[in-house]
Structure 1
């Protein structure tokens, strides 16, 4: 290939991003990275990749897989190193300096991506390789890479006319700025809405650990008393325990009021309505009726009607179950001397009361058994060892981006190191809400990279010297997010485009949901659910399982409500804009239209803090959790039918699906494990929407 060499790096050799990391597995050298290193490294990374693309575009030789697709896969090494760090820090440790860099470069990075995908010269070379892909001696993964790149270019606008391309560039740049802005505003709104309590009597019912965490949160902000900080979803975990109904109401209203701009508070509505309008306009450029149609055209679901059909079959039954549950809880509310209907801030409290009475399980009594360090080491990591033969060695010698963070080296059954697992469990003001998995290094044989994956939760930090304890939901979340981590750690592909979780959005949650199975498995639970040397009693475990099954109407309804909000915003056609002041009315109509307007059940996320879809990559994709759960329920049945926590099953799941990332068709990978196509009955039965078998 005759090309022009990339321009020399305009980067100070003292910048730690100037050369690949010399740490194990390419872990970023956080002990040397400073905020002032980020912007110069991003600028240099953008310049370097532009030069690499220009070399590809101007190569006078005929396009081949090696000179075009493989060259594209190799490009952008510096940019990948620095964006991985900036993206991770902006979510997990978003200091003022990091947030400023993120805000400055978000539109530049969007324009940079467009520069590639809208470059007619590069697309012509990709198109030439695509036309000859079956006659070029390529293997299956190479053919899939060509097809994926070609589809990426087309979906990114490469086939549009020049006028449409220019408008697309403008839209993408503005959307990237708005998405970053939305995430920042949600973090600010959540911090702003934290409920400050000065009278300890108002905290009655709250466990010592949660009270200590609230005290520590107040002290961190220089406040007296206690601070009840907000988690990202609407339901706040402490509502289960708080006996003070007025405080429950205050906390719930703070949660659902985030981003609405009331009384001069942070207002995300202008950002989100603009994003919805821009996404609709962009879809129209591609000939799609709505953004949802554009997104679903590239997912396993295939179309918006297919998703709506599934929701139509679930929404009425879920809402009916939720109303029946609420009627039971309302009796307890009245027995306490309160008048009127059950309110959203009452639901968790009385559900726990009913659960405790009916199943003799008390969440407060359960919490001492769910100590974070034991859940991680003797639960999450132990299950991975049993099922896949992995072992984990903590590496305190490796630098981290925050003192809270732990790093583990992951070894395969033969002792070979396969990657690093970075764990960041605790909430802090610089960390966005929710839980997620991401990567610092993606696995690739082409580049010689082994994976470095990270998992972030938002567990309240306990008082000094005290251990952290989890709720049952947080235990599920830890196993869930580690399921994503395994998807990244097990990646065994040649090309970075296919690494780890690089699969359709409505498939990516499936492996992580399967991993939740082991949280309450009889071979795992007794190892970590221990208090004062005694495991959680077996009879309490049985009651716990029954208790965990209670409230499915509420859980399904709150999830489906968020799903239909996502689809409502992204089913708007171009030109149909919603005014910022009409956001709440728009939400109410969407819920009513789907029969999900259950007064006591709030949507899991309201639009004003729906970071998945307005600050992340789940737009028109939040349905993917339930879509993936169809596959999850099938595979849970498969594991259960064949012995459960068995290495042979783990090895098959790993070899046929987890290791293949996006290098194979995801549904074909599923069928290679399950032995047949998925069926909806296992999920419907698990959700209580079919009679038990």
Structure 2
């Protein structure tokens, strides 16, 4: 086995010594082959640090144990941040092979730490004597996080059960990596190449442009590729007049992870659920949902299901009304087929055009990516006093990635932000925020005091043809605002300890800053300023703006049914005894709740990456709706002032939500901002799923 010195000698310094602009990693100095030896060296470094903390001859103190743990593993954090960014946003076969190796190796490493009896004894001693330690509220939260983390890692289990738990965690890590790679494989491997006007019927120019660019990427210039990127498949399903092609594309989209062969995820799901159930039992929980919901705002599966079923009843009733309306549109065209899942978006768009006299195609020329980015930054400046300054010519991890300095009113640098906006075959689907490093104020071993947050957003918008602007749908624009809301949560963080920085909050609170930020997209002043026509520069006409705002709740039943069915299936998986075919469980749940035949789950089980590509949102997909209850009520606080940018309310929002991370209890954070906890009423009203009479009589 190589010595510690040999391991470090083989380490590319660029992976851990970030000496680019303002401490940015030098992405251009890192190659795929650097990661394997870097992980070996960084894991060994971290293990030595842990051994030193556990073996400290001095009695346990907050400083020599908890603070030491907070700053340990800096090299591992840096190597990991660079690697997982590449694995998600610009992967290849070499990175994917290493990912399958690294995921279980990291699990073994952290299992060993979590089951270190000597180290846990120090943490447990602090936990038991915390009343006498004189800790700040943030320090109490940090101590609690470490203590509970060790307990959930098996620190209190007998040795045999610890060994079994470690084996389960390792296997789950490998299964999660394979699940995500399989979905990416199906997305990358399927496309439908179109050629000629008959196959392109109904598609507006912006869809054709995106498909033409996708065809060029696949080596077919002059043709048009329907891909499984949401930025192409959804507009294709919306506008294509070719029902046969819509069905073909829809079936491919919904079959991801369930096509048989090497990329089929169904066996992975079954094994994952069995291992999660076993893990929960080992740790003393009735089921995996109980384990995951411990230390969340919801706390219990019953509380989650109560919210989901309340919303479901209203959503499915609305969706059936919508289906009847779509059937009438179909009949009005002289056609005699029912509403199928590949028809819904197409005829919903026609209904919107008929009812509100505008279509997505009419709206899209006013939603330029560049202008919506500017709008995101402007809202942040008006609410929080920060501005973005783009720095060009600085290498990032892909040529499409853009770098911005985030500066405060005194021109102090408060964060770096990277925006990665366009879809590519090397990037997994969806949109997300992550960080290369998080804000904190602790002194580090390299002599630095604290760290600057380096945050990035990844999206999958269709890349336009050369010389043309990228045009977004309204949903795309909301996605951009959503992810920048997450980014702000990381960039505005103002805490001392890394473990509670930024998005280090409970799963059902983490979506509040992002979903709340979406509201400012449709503030009339923002749309008037930034929704300008890409050719003429003219602002969106008031008449069109009025229609957009009036149409916000159209298709609300469909959208809510798509989401809520997925969340209910997720909860069923993690509350029922494990065993049997997960697809049969999915079918049973959908039958029990009365899932309309014309709608499918937003994320069917074999490609439900939130839940099975790792366990970040397992028994937690509901959290988007839980946070939606919060965000609707939070924006209502601004509406009540009559000013969407009310400075007093914005200050309270920054001080109590965006800057505190997990340093205080989320319920207390929300009450400090709003003065009370919310009911679902504002959320149901925002979705158009309740009337005033229903709201006034609600006791939820």
State the TM-score bracket (shorter-chain normalisation).
Answer: over 0.9
Please tell me whether the aligned partners of residues 570 and 619 of structure 2 are also in contact (alpha carbons under 8 angstroms): yes
Change (3 A) 1:169 1:232: farther
Paired with 2:121 and 2:262, the residues of 1 have a C-alpha distance of 50
Counterpart for residue 386 of structure 2:
390
Change (3 A) 1:237 1:423: same
Answering whether residue 413 of structure 2 is matched by residue 413 of structure 1, we say no
Give the 3-state SS of the residue equivalent to 2:7 in structure 1.
Answer: coil
Once the two structures are superposed, residues 129-164 of structure 1 have per-residue CA deviations (whole angstroms, 9 ceiling, x without a partner) of 111212122222112211111111111211111111
Change (3 A) 1:233 1:107: farther
Shift of 1:237: 3.0
Answering whether residue 637 of structure 2 is matched by residue 638 of structure 1, we say yes
Paired with 2:329 and 2:605, the residues of 1 have a C-alpha distance of 31
Shift of 1:18: 5.8
Relative to structure 2, which stretch is displaced further, 388-397 or 584-593? 584-593
Paired with 1:259 and 1:200, the residues of 2 have a C-alpha distance of 32
Please tell me whether the aligned partners of residues 15 and 41 of structure 1 are also in contact (alpha carbons under 8 angstroms): yes
1:181 to 145, 164, 178: 178
Give the 3-state SS of the residue equivalent to 2:29 in structure 1.
Answer: coil
Once the two structures are superposed, residues 477-529 of structure 1 have per-residue CA deviations (whole angstroms, 9 ceiling, x without a partner) of 00011000000000111111001000001110011010001111112111211
Paired residues for 1:486-525 under 5 Å: 486-525=488-527
1:361 to 351, 358, 362: 358
Paired residues for 1:301-312 under 5 Å: 301-312=298-309
Once the two structures are superposed, residues 289-338 of structure 1 have per-residue CA deviations (whole angstroms, 9 ceiling, x without a partner) of 21111111221101011111112212122111101101100111122232
Answering whether residue 397 of structure 2 is matched by residue 404 of structure 1, we say no
* 4+ long deviations beyond 4 Å: 6-9, 232-235
2:50 to 53, 58, 70: 53
Please tell me whether the aligned partners of residues 637 and 649 of structure 2 are also in contact (alpha carbons under 8 angstroms): no
Counterpart for residue 684 of structure 1:
684
Counterpart for residue 152 of structure 1:
149
Counterpart for residue 569 of structure 1:
573
Please tell me whether the aligned partners of residues 371 and 468 of structure 1 are also in contact (alpha carbons under 8 angstroms): yes
Relative to structure 2, which stretch is displaced further, 424-433 or 456-465? 456-465
Answering whether residue 234 of structure 2 is matched by residue 230 of structure 1, we say no
Q: How many residues are matched? A: 680
Counterpart for residue 257 of structure 2:
259
Q: Which runs of 5+ in 1 are unaligned?
A: 1-5
Relative to structure 2, which stretch is displaced further, 221-230 or 396-405? 221-230
Give the 3-state SS of the residue equivalent to 1:51 in structure 2.
Answer: helix
Q: TM-score, normalised by structure 2?
A: 0.95
Once the two structures are superposed, residues 639-660 of structure 1 have per-residue CA deviations (whole angstroms, 9 ceiling, x without a partner) of 1112212333222211112111
1:539 to 543, 546, 552: 543
Counterpart for residue 3 of structure 1:
none
Shift of 1:274: 1.0
Answering whether residue 444 of structure 2 is matched by residue 444 of structure 1, we say no
Give the 3-state SS of the residue equivalent to 1:31 in structure 2.
Answer: helix
2:478 to 464, 476, 479: 476
Counterpart for residue 628 of structure 1:
627
Counterpart for residue 113 of structure 2:
116
Paired with 2:549 and 2:103, the residues of 1 have a C-alpha distance of 45
Aligned alpha-carbon RMSD (Å): 1.7
Shift of 1:199: 3.7
Counterpart for residue 591 of structure 1:
590
Give the 3-state SS of the residue equivalent to 2:349 in structure 1.
Answer: helix
Answering whether residue 66 of structure 2 is matched by residue 69 of structure 1, we say yes
Paired with 1:8 and 1:73, the residues of 2 have a C-alpha distance of 24
Once the two structures are superposed, residues 559-599 of structure 1 have per-residue CA deviations (whole angstroms, 9 ceiling, x without a partner) of 001111211222232xx3223xxx4433221112223x111
Paired with 1:13 and 1:603, the residues of 2 have a C-alpha distance of 48
Answering whether residue 435 of structure 2 is matched by residue 433 of structure 1, we say no
Shift of 1:288: 1.6
Counterpart for residue 602 of structure 1:
600
Answering whether residue 564 of structure 2 is matched by residue 560 of structure 1, we say yes
Change (3 A) 1:72 1:460: same
Once the two structures are superposed, residues 147-186 of structure 1 have per-residue CA deviations (whole angstroms, 9 ceiling, x without a partner) of 1111111112111111111100000000000101111000
Give the 3-state SS of the residue equivalent to 1:565 in structure 2.
Answer: helix
Change (3 A) 1:122 1:598: same
Paired residues for 1:119-138 under 5 Å: 119-138=116-135
Please tell me whether the aligned partners of residues 30 and 400 of structure 1 are also in contact (alpha carbons under 8 angstroms): yes
Please tell me whether the aligned partners of residues 371 and 529 of structure 1 are also in contact (alpha carbons under 8 angstroms): yes
Counterpart for residue 461 of structure 2:
459
Once the two structures are superposed, residues 248-283 of structure 1 have per-residue CA deviations (whole angstroms, 9 ceiling, x without a partner) of 111111111111125x57311111111111111111
Paired with 1:630 and 1:240, the residues of 2 have a C-alpha distance of 29
Give the 3-state SS of the residue equivalent to 1:423 in structure 2.
Answer: strand
Answering whether residue 17 of structure 2 is matched by residue 20 of structure 1, we say yes
Paired residues for 1:190-205 under 5 Å: 190-205=187-202
Please tell me whether the aligned partners of residues 292 and 620 of structure 1 are also in contact (alpha carbons under 8 angstroms): yes
Once the two structures are superposed, residues 378-418 of structure 1 have per-residue CA deviations (whole angstroms, 9 ceiling, x without a partner) of x1111111111111111113220101100100001211100
Q: Which runs of 5+ in 2 are unaligned?
A: 445-449, 696-700
Give the 3-state SS of the residue equivalent to 2:405 in structure 1.
Answer: strand
Once the two structures are superposed, residues 332-387 of structure 1 have per-residue CA deviations (whole angstroms, 9 ceiling, x without a partner) of 1122232231011111111111111111111101111011111111x111111111
Counterpart for residue 340 of structure 2:
343
Shift of 1:9: 7.2
Shift of 1:208: 1.6
Counterpart for residue 447 of structure 2:
none
